[in-house]
Amino acid sequence: MIELSTQGTGRQSAIYAEQGIFRQTAQICMEKFGMNRVHIITDENVEGLYLETLIGDFADIAYAPADGSYRDGESEDEYEFDEDNIAFPDFEISYSVIPPGEASKSLSTIADIYDSLAEAQITRDDLIIALGGGVVGDIAGFAAATYMRGIRLCQIPSTLLSQVDSSVGGKCGLNLAQGKNLVGTFYQPDLVIADPLLLNSLSEEDFADGMAEVIKYAIACDTELIPLIEDFISEGGSAQKSSGILTEIILRCIMAKADIVEKDELDQKGIRNVLNFGHTVGHAIEKLSGYEGYTHGQAVAAGMVYAIKMFSGENKEELLTRLTSLLREFGLPEETPFSSVDIAESVMSDKKMDSEGYISFVVLKDIGVTEIQKKSPSEILKALQEIQRR
Ligand SMILES: NC(=O)c1ccc[n+]([C@@H]2O[C@H](COP(=O)([O-])OP(=O)(O)OC[C@H]3O[C@@H](n4cnc5c(N)ncnc54)[C@H](O)[C@@H]3O)[C@@H](O)[C@H]2O)c1
CA atoms within 13 A on the CB side of 27: 5
Examine the pLDDT at 291 and tell me if it is beyond 70.
yes
Q: What pLDDT score was predicted for residue 257? A: 92
Average pLDDT estimate for 206-215: 97
Nearest to 12 by CA among 191, 228, 165, 248: 191
pLDDT digits (tens, 9 = 90+) for 102-117: 999 999 999 999 999 9
Alpha-carbon distance 230 to 50, whole Å?
A: 30
Q: Average the pLDDT over each of 202-216, 238-252, 294-308 and give the range with the smallest value.
A: 238-252
Output the residue whose Cα is nearest ligand 1's atom 2: 166
Q: What pLDDT score was predicted for residue 83? A: 76
How many Å from the N-terminal Cα to the C-terminal Cα in the chain? 48
Average pLDDT estimate for 202-208: 95
Nearest to 132 by CA among 104, 102, 100, 103: 100
Name the pLDDT band for 86 (thresholds 50, 70, 90). Answer: confident
Average pLDDT estimate for 48-72: 85
Name the pLDDT band for 1 (thresholds 50, 70, 90). Answer: confident
Q: Which atom of ligand 1 is nearest to the CA of 138?
A: 1
**φ, ψ for residue 144 (rounded to 5)?**
-65, -35
Q: What pLDDT score was predicted for residue 351? A: 67
pLDDT digits (tens, 9 = 90+) for 307-345: 999 999 999 999 999 999 999 999 999 999 999 999 999
**DSSP conformational letter for 1:** -
Q: What pLDDT score was predicted for residue 267? A: 82
Predicted TM-score (pTM) of this structure = 0.94
Output the residue whose Cα is nearest ligand 1's atom 35: 202
CB atoms within 10 A of CB 225: 23
Examine the pLDDT at 70 and tell me if it is beyond 70.
no
Average pLDDT estimate for 65-87: 68
pLDDT digits (tens, 9 = 90+) for 219-247: 999 999 999 999 999 988 877 766 789 99
232-258: string of b/e by CB count within 10 Å (b at 16+)?
A: bbeeebbbeebeebbbbbbbbbbbbbb
- Mean predicted lDDT score pLDDT of the chain: 91
Residues within 6 Å of ligand 1 by CB: 43, 45-46, 49, 100-102, 105, 132-136, 138, 158-159, 161-162, 165-166, 169, 171-172, 181, 198-199, 201-202, 206, 209, 296
- 151 CA distance to ligand 1 centroid (A)? 22
Average pLDDT estimate for 204-216: 96
pLDDT digits (tens, 9 = 90+) for 123-146: 999 999 999 999 999 999 999 999
Q: What pLDDT score was predicted for residue 74? A: 58
Q: What pLDDT score was predicted for residue 10? A: 75
Name the pLDDT band for 262 (thresholds 50, 70, 90). Answer: confident
Cα-based distances in Å from 207 to 75, 202, 358: 40, 6, 35
Residue ranges and CATH numbers for the domains of the chain are 2-202 (3.40.50.1970), 215-238+241-389 (1.20.1090.10)
